[in-house]
Amino acid sequence: MKKCIVFFSLMLLFWPSRAQDVAENRLVETGNWNGLYLRFRISEKLYYYGEHHYRRRNSVDNLYDFVGRMRQWYNRAGINYFYNEYFNVIIGPTLVLNYTPRPGDPDYEYITIEPRIWHQWLFTMPYLGRVKIYHQFRFEHRWRRSNLKGSEFQYTNRYRYKIFAYIPINKNKLEKRTLFFSPSAEIFMQSGKSIVYNHFEDFRVYTGLGYILNNSVTFFGGHMWTVGQDQVGNIYNQTHIIRLNIFINLDLRNPSKVLPNVMMGD
């Protein structure tokens, strides 16, 4: 794990940059992301994992309305293998539907598809008091193109590291009827032929509150702030996103034995 952290740090230090004296920061988007997260236990070690996101963003003429335009349908699936209670991996496909940023403009296609292959390593730390901390490494291989008509697919890779925690509020551990607080921070790097000045794709700070309703259902909501490089390299785009999520965790072998699971995913 230390080698991976060193890798991400070196990418931050040495990506190509433009010779500009002043960096510009700007708010470019507000939005609302709603997610359904699924984990179904198939055998002692294997699970099916799924994510389905309905994402909207602000109107063209109103930066602060959050939901004026459709942004994405985001669908991720995978096979989840639990090596032990401290380490598990996932691998699978993703299909993203990207909606036009300029509704009504005939030069833009209404929807384009973005297929991906992704894999993830998740390290779970032993309890620190009643705080549970996780280290997540995710790698995505993407084929995507602009909604502008005639655009070609570009292949890129994305490398992500996230640290997040769960902190019970009204109980000493995560169990039924627990209200919990969860902060997280995640860095995104990218590479590919089309990536020249913007290897630093994104940095996200996501904080929210969750509630474990029962052994199968958990609710979570919060605010996410992001910042990332524009294609020109010296402009940094910021967004504010309101996120609302439902987590469903089932043991298909015996639903009555399932344990609460509130892993945030993406």
Instruction: Give CA–CA dist 213/197, Å, rounded.
Output: 45
148 strand-pairing partners: 108
The pLDDT tens digits of the residues spanning 78-106 come to 999 999 999 999 999 999 999 999 999 99
**Domains of the chain in sequence order:** 32-257 (2.40.160)
Percentage of the residues of the chain whose pLDDT score is greater than 70: 87
| Residues 15, 191 contacting (CB under 8 angstroms) | no
Bridge-based pairing of strands 46-57 and 24-41 is antiparallel
Closest by Cα among 180, 94, 81 to 122: 81
> pTM here?
0.88
Which pLDDT score, from 0 to 100, does residue 19 have? 43
Which pLDDT score, from 0 to 100, does residue 14 have? 47
Query: Both ends of the chain: CA-CA distance in Å?
Result: 20
Bridge-based pairing of strands 132-144 and 154-168 is antiparallel
Write out the chain's pLDDT in tens, 266 residues. Answer: 555 555 555 555 544 444 455 679 999 999 999 999 999 999 999 999 999 999 999 999 999 999 999 999 999 999 999 999 999 999 999 999 999 999 999 999 999 999 999 999 999 999 999 999 999 999 999 999 999 999 999 999 999 999 999 999 999 998 999 999 999 999 999 999 999 999 999 999 999 999 999 989 999 999 999 999 998 888 999 999 999 999 999 988 876 665 555 555 66
Instruction: Give CA–CA dist 49/94, Å, rounded.
Output: 12
Four-residue CA torsion sign, 14, 17, 19, 20: negative
Instruction: Give CA–CA dist 51/116, Å, rounded.
Output: 14
Which pLDDT score, from 0 to 100, does residue 23 have? 77
Which pLDDT score, from 0 to 100, does residue 235 have? 94
Which pLDDT score, from 0 to 100, does residue 8 have? 53
